[in-house]
Structures are given as C-alpha cells and as structure tokens.
Amino acid sequence: MSRWKPDARGRLEKAALELFNHQGFDATTVAEIAARAEVTERTFYRHFVDKREVLFQPNALADVLAHATAAADTPAPLEVITHALTEAAPVFEERAELVRQRQAVIAANPELQERELTKQASLVSTLDRALRERGLDATTAALAAAIGIAAFKVAFERWIDDPDQRNLAQHIRETLDATRHLTAPAEHAAATDASFQDQENVA
Amino acid sequence: MSRWKPDARGRLEKAALELFNHQGFDATTVAEIAARAEVTERTFYRHFVDKREVLFQPNALADVLAHATAAADTPAPLEVITHALTEAAPVFEERAELVRQRQAVIAANPELQERELTKQASLVSTLDRALRERGLDATTAALAAAIGIAAFKVAFERWIDDPDQRNLAQHIRETLDATRHLTAPAEHAAATDASFQDQENVA
C-alpha cells in the first residue's frame, strides 16, 4: 500500500474472484480481498456493499436487452430475441476471463446459485415487458422471453466451455437456430414441406 | 383434539396454506398450524420437517417427467416434451385448489420464490437428463428441457388464472403449439412455405 495504483475497483474484483475460486466464497473475508488488491478495507466498501456484490454487480445487461428489444427491426419474436441477445453479448465478451471465473465461483455454491436464478428470472421479466411494449400478447411475450433467456443460458454455457473460443454472439445465433429444429414436428423438419411436395409430385 | 379425525396430513396442509395466505408465511407458527388442524405439534412434525416443507413437499413430478420422457413414442423433441408435461399435469390438477393457494403464498414471499426457482431448475435438469438418455445431443437436450419447463411455467400461470377453468393439459398443449409460431421466421410462419410456392406458381 506504499504507492497509489489505478483501478482499485478492477483490482478488487480480480482479487475477490481469485480468492473465491481458491479458498471458497464463504471462507473469504473482505480483509483478505482488500489485502490482495493492495487497498484498505475502507476502499473495498467504497466500491461494494459486501463481498457478494462483487459477483452481482449491477450491469448494463437489462438495459441493453430492453433497448435492443424495442429497436429490433423484425416482427418475428424469435428474431427480435436473437437481435436483443446478440446486442447484449459484448456485456460478457468484454470481460470473458472474469465472467468465467465468476461462473466457477457460482457453480460451487448453492446459495449463490439461488441468487443467480433470481437474477435470471428478473431478466425474463425485463424481456417479457419489452416484448409486450412491442405489442405482443401476454402469453406470446412470456413464452418468448422465457425461451430467449433459456436459450441464452445454453449459449452462455457453450461459450464458457468452448475450446475453439468462438464468440458468444455466434453461440447465441446457433442456439436460437437450434430452437427452430427443436420445435419442428418431425425429426428432419426443415425439409418436411419440401419432401412432402416432392412425394406428391412423384405420385 | 377430543376425537381422532382422519387425514391429519391433509388437514395440516390445508390449515397451513390458509394461515400462510391470511397472515403471511413468516408470521405463521407450527403451533398455529397444528391448532387449526386440530392436531398436536408433534403430529405436525411426524409429517413435515418444518413449515416450509408444507410448500415444498416431495412430489411425483420429477419421476413422472422422467418416465414419460423415456416412454414418448416420437422422435421430435417438442412432442416428447409435450407428452411428458401433459402426463405430469394430473400431479397439479388433482389438487388444483391447494396448488392455487400455494402459488399465492409463494408469490407474496421473495425467499420462497428463490426456493421455487431452484426447484424449477432441478426439473430442467431432470428433463435434460431424460432427453439425453433418449439419445439427444447435449445442446439440444439442454435447450429442449429449458424450453419445456419455460413453456410449462407459462401454461401453469394461464391455468391458475383461467376464468374458464380449462384443464392444465390443454394449456400445456396450447403453449407448446405457440412455441412453433414463435420460432417461425416470419409473422404468419405456418403458411410461409405454401405462400412462397403460390407466388412462384402465379409468377
């Protein structure tokens, strides 16, 4: 602490995530986080209410989702969602390494998982509201919002574990594309109409 | 308590839900629940670990979902899910009034909502596992499971509030049908292929 260093908040976050991962969230104290970041505890509390807030900082995600949903230039609900979620991808991509560390901490702690589920539920509400403001009926909006966040979670987990390090936006587009196949009535559904037509032509 | 009455467990559950709704979950004691059900506190604890367990009893839902997913006679993931969820509908329909009361208690209490989200996340895992056991790849299974439980939640809320009291299985089928429209590329997507074909014929 002999010399002032810039970005205390960033160093506190990095220190906290390292300690949470090395020794567990519950076992880590604010004093340890501050010491590792080479700041005082008082500085920690200028940036965060408590150690949990390091993991659940307010971020731009909900705002970006709401604005991108309002701005999407297509009437198809799944395309609106694809647009909104890919617009939100940089919120995570810009901090990929911290996001991965955070995810590992949460995966190791059931209480943090509950908090994370609550945060995800509030994102579903945000998306739901934004879709209703576009004129979607309540059921369609609720369903589209729930599917959107569900697809986002799957895309996010694929991105976190991706050995090829393709970007999150790509995973989001692939995952939402996969929902089209999923919801088709037969196994190779994309071609169903065409092949029925072919059979009729042959007959 | 002068005379033995049958179904202590059922009366305890009914008494608890009434008290939770009238005076709040936090303000209700096990002593009050037992008194209202006309049993001793000891009897309460023979049936439930604590008052929260009245709301989160183990039920057949996860087993029914897993078995129905394994047994579904179709390769299309969304149809597998529709089958599994409609098979699970009676778990709720048989106790519709208690289910509605329970829902109101949970809606009024953020801590119980967190617990409920965790329960729903575990249902997604159950469905995910059952779909992978049918041979679906990991991404498709995760996505289908998440969409299935998301659609179930929407159907469940429609059923709870339905003035026409149509059954839950109908709501599940309608909601999952709605996902087909949602995931179609254009607004009136069901007819897209056919109308493109018509235009080509006209041209």
Give the closest-approach CA distance of A197 to chain B in angstroms: 10
Report the CATH number at residue A112. Answer: 1.10.357.10
Complex ipTM over 0.90: no
Tell me the pLDDT tens digit for each residue of A154-201.
999 999 988 888 899 999 999 988 887 777 655 444 433 333 333 333
Flag whether B3 is in a domain.
no
- Same domain assignment for residues A93 and A182: yes
pLDDT (0 to 100) of residue B45: 97
Contacts across the A-B interface (CB distance below 8 Å): 115
pLDDT of residue B201: 38
Query: Are residues A189 and A102 located together in one domain of the fold?
Result: yes
Mutation for testing the A interface, residue in B183, B188, B193, B197 having most A CBs under 10 Å:
B183
Q: Is residue A1 part of a domain?
A: no
Give B114-156 pLDDT, tens digit per residue: 999 999 999 999 999 999 999 999 888 998 999 899 999 999 9
Same domain, A113 and A190: yes
Whether B82 maps to a domain, the answer reads yes
What pLDDT is attached to residue B188?
Answer: 43
* Cβ contacts of B147 on chain A, cutoff 8 Å: 146-147, 150-151, 179, 182-183
In a domain, residue B15? The reply is: yes
Please check the confidence at residue A124 and state whether its pLDDT lies above 70: yes
User: A173 — contact with chain B (CB < 8 Å)?
Assistant: no
- Average pLDDT of chain A? 87
Residue A130's pLDDT is what? 96
Mark whether A34 and A133 lie in a shared domain: no
Percent of chain B with pLDDT over 90: 68
| Residue B1 placed within a domain | no
CB interface of B with A, residues 24-83, below 8 Å: 75-79
Distance CA A62, CA A70 (A): 12
Q: Are residues A40 and A15 part of one domain? A: yes
Domains of chain B: total: 2
What is the rounded CA–CA span in Å between residue A146 and residue B148? 10
- In a domain, residue A3? The reply is no
User: Does A55 have pLDDT greater than 90?
Assistant: yes
pLDDT band at B71 (very low <50, low <70, confident <90, very high): very high
Q: Residue A174 belongs to what domain range? A: 61-202
Q: Give the DSSP per-residue string, A87-152.
A: HHHHHHHTTHHHHHHHHHHHHT-HHHHHHHHHHHHHHHHHHHHHHHHTT--HHHHHHHHHHHHHHH
Q: Is residue B127 part of a domain?
A: yes
A69-80 tens-digit pLDDT: 999 998 888 899
**At B37, which CATH number?**
1.10.10.60
* pLDDT, tens digit, 9 for 90 and up, residues B18-53: 999 999 999 999 999 999 999 999 999 999 999 999
Residue B5 has which token pair? 């009455």
Question: What separation in angstroms does the CA of B51 have from each of A45, A114, B8, B19, B20?
Answer: 37, 20, 15, 11, 10
- The verdict on B174 and B105 lying in the same domain is yes
Tokens found for residue B7: 């179904």
Does residue A135 belong to the interface with chain B, where contact is any CB pair within 8 Å?
A: no
Is B177 touching A (CB cutoff 8 A)? Answer: no
**Separation in Å, CA B160 to CA B15, B100, B113, B196:** 21, 6, 17, 40
First to last CA, chain B: 84
Q: Secondary structure of A66-89 in the HEC alphabet?
A: HHHHHHCCCCCHHHHHHHHHHHHH
pTM, two decimals, is 0.81
Work out the mean pLDDT of chain B and round it to a whole number. 87
Q: Which of A12, A19, A23 is nearest to A45 (CA)?
A: A12
Question: Do B26 and B99 sit in the same domain of this protein?
Answer: no
Do B49 and B128 belong together in one domain?
no
Query: What is residue A187's predicted lDDT score, i.e. its pLDDT?
Result: 43
